[in-house]
Amino acid sequence: MSYKPDWDSIKKHYEIFNKEFRPAWFHDVKLGVIIHWGLYSVPGWAPPLGELSYIPEVYGLEFWFRYNPYAEWYFNTLRVAGSASSIFHELTYGKNFQYEMFAKIFEEESNKWRASEWVRLFVKSGIKYVVFVTKHHDGYLLWPSDVKNPRKPNWFSTRDFVGELERECRSSGVRFATYYSSGIDWTFNPTIIVDRESFRRATIFDDDYRNYLRRHWYELIDRYKPEILWSDIGYPFEDDLPELFSYYYNAIGDGLVNNRFTMRHYDFTTPEYRLINRISEEKWETVRGIGYSFGYNRAEGPEHSLSYERLIHLLLDVISKNGNLLLGVTPKADGTIPQHQAELLLKLGQWLKTYGEAIYGTRPWIQAEGIAIGAEDGIPLRFVKKNERLYVFLLGKTKSRKLVIKPFEGILKSVNGVYIEMIGEEPINWKQTSHGIEIEIPKYLYPSPAYVIKIEPLPQIEK
């Protein structure tokens, strides 16, 4: 289909993607990573106070910006008088050490980075797509753009990190997407953000930024052919978007745009550190760090991060409601991914080796949640489907060997003509009762945060 540069034409892309599931790849992959890596990775510090999902609501936005746990916001936070980051910066680097001085350190440290090491880890972890931050709010580019910053000369990497990672991802069968901060660039508008009003002022730009912004997005499309255009903090010049989107859709057949350009058009939404509590008709992607920050934070450790069990349960909850999970990994300046994050990803990959068939390529079922009743406890359930198969996730291990899955609409009204198994476990027995489907759990189960019951129709035998 060819798209014209007007809103009516491009909105058809949303309808096809969300109603016909085309392109299918984003509905299939379920799991990606977003990588924030740049000058802020050199100091790599922020107070690890907690998640975005509750701190601003409890303490307010002014508290959030003063004690911002997002280390990638370091340049803004260190300019907030009396902030924890400003105190850290002065004690560590001195009063006269300017943020720009991190560029030389980053250039030296990043020379140690190899894209292949990241992608090898991602493949082992079951990651299917990568969103790479090509420019964050500090305006520093991770590719040698032909479009130079008129306000800040040489504010880019001479090494093409975007291109190197893109080629390595594609050669390994991993989808590649580009993040770009459209709505904030402190090299064009240095407003210090401390509250809602200053945030609004920080997203106002002149025409010189309009041209700079526009040319960068076209350059990213032409050079790297990203399968997602992942904007952030809005797009200050909305009138330019129909032309950009139509150009992109016509150039990249499987391409998608997120909802952070404008709410007038998008393919999927991106709640941050938040979940949707129902099956959503439109596709969504929850984005969050493994810890509290998207950028490297030396103050964060395993105690601030998702546990193995919480990560698995999060993934299952998200996919049951028509979502994808986009996890933030936080490389150090030399490209090293913190050990506790790498170990967690590898454990995730091991789990997916056993249960991946119930994750990739699935779609929401008629309901997302349920409960299985044992003799002594109840186990939360999540559901997805693939063709005629139903996958039931047990979010934990029951104390009882007998488990009753309550009756509900669908193929579990009766076990007649279906086959039931626990993936990766010995054969199980089951029967229909007046209370639901009674399943006898194997005596010995491999330790896991979640188990998967597969239910599928028996093949029909022709007479």
DSSP element (H, E) containing 104? helix 102-110
H-helix or E-strand spanning residue 167: helix 161-171
Ordered by start, the domain boundaries in the chain are 7-358, 363-457
List, edge to edge, every strand of the sheet that includes 429-433. Answer: 418-422, 451-457, 389-394, 378-386, 363-374, 402-405, 436-440, 429-433
Alpha-carbon gap, residue 420 to 398, rounded angstroms: 18
Q: What is the DSSP letter of 336?
A: P
Residue 381's beta-bridge partner residues?
A: 370, 394
119, 215, 369, 389, 439 from 32: Cα distances, Å: 12, 27, 23, 24, 34
Residue type, 234: G
CA geometry: angle at 419 spanning 418 and 420, to 5°? 120
The sign of the torsion formed by the CA atoms of 37, 76, 294, 25 equals negative
Topology, domain 363-457: Immunoglobulin-like (2.60.40)
Q: Report how far residue 402's alpha carbon sits from residue 372's, in angstroms, rounded to the nearest whole number.
A: 10
d(CA 99, CA 79): 10
CB atoms within 10 A of CB 227: 23
**What 3-state class would DSSP assign to 164?**
helix
The pTM (predicted TM-score) of the whole model is 0.96
Say which CATH architecture domain 7-358 belongs to. Alpha-Beta Barrel (3.20)
Per-residue pLDDT for the chain (463 aa), expressed as one digit of tens each? 899 999 999 999 999 999 999 999 999 999 999 999 999 999 999 999 999 988 888 889 999 999 999 999 999 999 999 999 999 999 999 999 999 999 999 999 999 999 999 999 999 999 999 999 999 999 999 999 999 999 999 999 999 999 999 999 999 999 999 999 999 999 999 999 999 999 999 999 999 999 999 999 999 999 999 999 999 999 999 999 999 999 999 999 999 999 999 999 999 999 999 999 999 999 999 999 999 999 999 999 999 999 999 999 999 999 999 999 999 999 999 999 999 999 999 999 999 999 999 999 999 999 999 988 875 678 899 999 999 899 999 999 877 788 888 755 555 544 557 889 999 999 999 888 877 788 998 888 889 999 999 998 876 555 4
